Structure 1
Amino acid sequence: MMKSVFLALALLVPSFAFAAGGNVHLDKANYDLTDKASLQNGAKLFMNYCFGCHSTQYQRYNRVAEDLAIPVKLMEENLIFTGVKSGELMENAIQEKDAAKWFGAPAPDLTLVARVRGADWIYTYLRSFYVDETRPFGVNNKVFPSVGMPHVLQELQGVPNAVYETEMIDGEEHHVYRGIESDGSGEMSDDEFDNAVLDLVNFLVYSAEPVQLERKRLGYWVLGFLFIFFIISYLLKREYWRDVH
Structure 2
Amino acid sequence: MKRLLIALLALIPTIALAAGSGVKLDKANYDLHDKASLQSGAALFMNYCFACHSTQYQRYNRVAEDLSIPLDLMQENLIFTGVKVGQLMENAMQADDAAAWFGAPAPDLTLVARVRGADWIYTYLRSFYADETRPFGVNNLVFPSVGMPHVLEELQGVPSIKEELRMIDGEEHAVVTGIESDGSGEMSADEYDQAVLDLVNFLVYSGEPIQLERKRLGYWVMGFLAIFFVFSYLLKKEYWRDVH
Q: So what's the TM-score if we normalise by structure 1?
A: 0.92
Deviations 1:206-239 (A, max 9, x none): 0000000000000001001111110011111111
| Whole-angstrom CA distance in 2 between matches of 1:21 and 1:225 | 41
Contact 1:130 1:139 in 2 (8 A): yes
Deviation, 1:169, is 2.0
Matched position secondary structure for 1:26? coil
1:22 and 1:96 map into 2 onto residues whose CA distance is 27
Contact preservation (8 Å) 2:28, 2:119:
yes
Amino acid at match of 2:45: F
Matched residue type, 2:40: N
Is 1:110–1:204's contact at 8 Å kept on the other side of the alignment? yes
Give the match's secondary structure for 2:161: strand
Conservation of the 8 A alpha-carbon contact between 1:20 and 1:143? no
Matches within 5 A, 1:187-226: 187-226=186-225
- Secondary structure of the 2:81 match is coil
- Residue 36 of structure 2 corresponds to 37
In the alignment, structure 1 segments of 5+ residues that lack a partner are: 1-12
Query: Does the 8 A contact of 1:21 with 1:145 survive in 2?
Result: no
Q: Is the 8 A contact 2:21 2:144 kept in 1?
A: no
Q: Deviations along 1:78-119, whole A, 9 cap, x unmatched? A: 000000000000000000000000000000000000000000
- What aligned pairs does 1:1-245 form with structure 2 within 5 A after superposition? 20-245=19-244
CA distance in 1, matches of 2:88, 2:194: 28
SS at match of 1:97: helix
Query: What is the aligned residue count?
Result: 230
Unaligned runs of 5+ in 2: 1-12
Report if aligned partners of 1:36, 1:69 keep a CA contact under 8 Å in 2.
yes
* CA deviation profile, 1:105-156 (whole Å, cap 9, x unmatched): 0000000000000000000000000000000000000000001000000000
Q: CA deviation at 1:244?
A: 1.5
SS at match of 1:87: coil
CA drift of 1:166 comes to 1.1
SS of corresponding position for 2:23: coil
Structure 2 CA distance for partners of 1:34 and 1:18, relative to 1, 3 Å:
closer
| Structure 1 residue aligned with 2:3 | none
Question: 1:25-54 CA distances to partner (integer Å, 9 max, x unpaired)?
Answer: 000000000000000000000000000000
Is the Cα contact below 8 Å between 1:20 and 1:144 reproduced in 2? Answer: no
- 2:56 & 2:176 partners in 1: Cα distance? 37
| Counterparts of 1:175 and 1:58, CA distance in 2 | 44
Taking every aligned residue pair, what percent have the same amino acid on both sides? 82
Deviation digits for residues 177-200 of structure 1 (CA, Å, limit 9, x no counterpart): 000000000000000000000000
- Letter paired with 1:148: G
Distance 2:69 2:169 in 1: 58
Post-superposition offset of 1:20: 5.0
Shift of 1:22: 2.2
Q: Distance in 2 between matches of 1:204 and 1:33?
A: 10
Structure-1 residue corresponding to 2:4: none
